[in-house]
Amino acid sequence: MNHQTTTTRVAAITAKPTSPCDHCSAQKPWFLHLFRHHSSGGALQRLCTSCTLLLHPSSFCPTCLSFYSSLPPAATRLSCSSCSSLTHSHCSPTASTPFRCLSCTRSGQEPNFSFFRVDPANPVVDRAAASALLCAAKISAAAMAKDAAQLREVAVNGAREAALSKKRAREELEKLYTLEEDRERLLRGVGEDERVEEEEGFASTVTHHH
């Protein structure tokens, strides 16, 4: 009988580190995730995997690294007393009070704590690092999709407002044309009355002389 041994799959990284993370610029991350930096006019911000997770604590469970497409029910989550993270109740069955999530606990114990650790001398991604990478990618994708939807809404509202402004401008021009036509008709009418008065005055003068 053959016995199969279950091992943690790993993947080797062949690419060289990319440019620095915009948050922890001292590091040379292997992967970068894109976000819109709204306080900088919507400029693109590049974050490494660990910074992505650390800066978006309420978007995933810090224990199992599962991305939250929607918040889990209040009865099934634990709120960290040190950050805004939400941990699955089943991921921390012996939670203490006040509760501190795994990332806050480890950050206090490890000064250089990182969700994504890759040894430059042996660049492989183990299961934990792969889970962190996948979660960060989902957070980035969700954030960019939300921004794209907001930009589409702004564009639609802008187009609608532009069409309304064009309509108002056209209406104002039509009013202006109407006023100009009325003014010209009035001027023509005044001129005609003056001409009639002059002719009548001339005729009266001729009659008087005769």
DSSP for 83-103? SS-EEEGGG-TT--SS---HH
Distance (Å, whole) CA 76 – CA 19: 39
- DSSP letter assigned to residue 67: B
Q: For residue 3, what pLDDT is reported?
A: 43
CB atoms within 10 A of CB 53: 25
What are the φ and ψ backbone dihedral angles of 36, each rounded to 5 degrees? -90, 125
Q: For residue 7, what pLDDT is reported?
A: 37
Output the CA–CA distances (angstroms, integers) from residue 174 to 127, 128, 186, in the order listed. Answer: 70, 69, 18
Closest Cα to residue 8, out of 122, 127, 118, 123?
Answer: 127
Q: For residue 197, what pLDDT is reported?
A: 58
Give the residue ranges of the chain where pLDDT is below 50. 1-10, 202, 206
Q: For residue 8, what pLDDT is reported?
A: 44
- What is this structure's pTM? 0.61
Q: For residue 169, what pLDDT is reported?
A: 79
Q: For residue 200, what pLDDT is reported?
A: 55
The β-bridge partners of 37 are 43
Q: Which residue has the tokens 């036509």?
A: 181
Dmax (CA) for the chain in angstroms is: 146
Q: For residue 136, what pLDDT is reported?
A: 93
Counting every residue, how long is the chain?
210
